[in-house]
Amino acid sequence: MVAMPMPYALVFSVLTGTNGNVRGVTVKLDLTSDPIELTAALVDVPSVSGEEQELADAVQAALADQAPHLEVIRSGNTVLARTNLGRAARVVLAGHLDTVPINDNLPLRRTGTGAEQVLHGCGTVDMKGGDAVLLHLAATLPRPRHDLTFVFYDCEEVDAARNGLGRIERELPDWLAGDLAIVAEPSSAVIEAGCQGTLRVEVRTTGTRAHTARAWMGANAIHGIGEVLRRLESYQARQVEIDGCRYREGLQAVKISGGVAGNVVPDECVLTVNHRFAPDRSVAQALEHVREVFAGYEVVLTDSAGGALPGLGAPAAQDLLAAAGGTAKAKLGWTDVARFGALGIPAVNFGPGDPTLAHTQQENVPVAQISRCAEVLRRFLTD
């Protein structure tokens, strides 16, 4: 392990009043610094969902000061910036500024040296490494081959209704327009195209209450759910290939509830089932499939979000794919690329960090992945 130096990408300015008391602290980011150091700087500014103002202020100030070629505006704790060069195509690059709650994993620490160095801490994976790459490109690419829009948004890690992208879509929709969207979610520095859709349903059985000493006088709703579980156990999920990306579907019981008391035959049982479906199906089609699986039972939809097709046939997506070495894989999960997909914009996930480490105390990102993402995107945007 090596000692952590103060990242040169981050400067704290302490403001004092005439009586010498501290009035506030201003965070200053150097966007032209190496994306590795910029990642370290971003991580050391806590920004749990709903508490992004300090980081959003720093991002806005840095872009306004260090990227005069960009139009910069603010919406809540979302910062938006774009070029207006009249290029034939526009690429939207998006990253959320918020993290899950800190879990004794700040300040940032480092292990290893050189190209083998690893950054540890809350947000290193999800997704300040990706944010650092985008901010560095925003400041250092004044004349890209495509027009660029950068969206650094708030509240991604909480209820969808609070997601900053949703607010921008409602209030500033032209800022999300483009020919390709790149969301810098962690993907181990590999292009993950599109994303799966997801829905949850409740499958309900009913019965008749009775004293367990006279159980024959009732009907046990928990016993009645057994056939539903057997159908799930024997279910064969689809695998679908789209644009060379293989999506694996799933249908899983995730919660069961029922029972009245230790001496009462239960009259209701509710099983919650989550369906992850390939983006060739709409939510309505996926729900119809689930109802077919559970034919004869009451099925109630409780939550859903559509997927996004990979869209790798789009010209801009083909250029990105070539810059990354020509390979991509399916995103086996839901991300905000689906919001762009719903707008008819091809979208991919591309960012440093292992997504399986997101939200864990062990979040860490190899610096080599940060460098790779920066190099691939720079090549895509300049060649």
Is residue 2's pLDDT more than 70?
A: no
Is residue 307's pLDDT more than 70?
A: yes
Of 154, 156, 185, 192, the catalytic one is 156
Is residue 11's pLDDT more than 80?
A: no
Question: Domains of the chain by range and CATH?
Answer: 10-194+308-382 (3.40.630.10), 197-305 (3.30.70.360)
User: For the chain, what percent of residues have pLDDT higher than 70?
Assistant: 93
pLDDT of residue 159: 86
Q: Which band of pLDDT confidence, cut at 50, 70 and 90, is reported for residue 208?
A: very high
Q: Which band of pLDDT confidence, cut at 50, 70 and 90, is reported for residue 93?
A: very high
**pLDDT digits over 52-80, tens only?**
999 999 999 999 999 999 999 999 999 99
Active-site residue, 156 included: yes
pLDDT of residue 6: 47
**pLDDT digits over 114-134, tens only?**
999 999 999 999 999 999 999
- Tokens 């994993």 belong to residue: 105
Is residue 239's pLDDT more than 70?
A: yes
What's the CA gap between 201 and 205, in Å, rounded? 13
Active-site residue, 292 included: no
**pLDDT digits over 321-362, tens only?**
999 998 899 998 889 999 999 999 999 999 999 999 999 999
Whole-structure pTM over 0.75, yes or no?
A: yes
Of 30, 44, 52, 98, the catalytic one is 98
Q: Which band of pLDDT confidence, cut at 50, 70 and 90, is reported for residue 17?
A: very low
Is residue 228's pLDDT more than 90?
A: yes
pLDDT of residue 327: 86
pLDDT of residue 33: 96
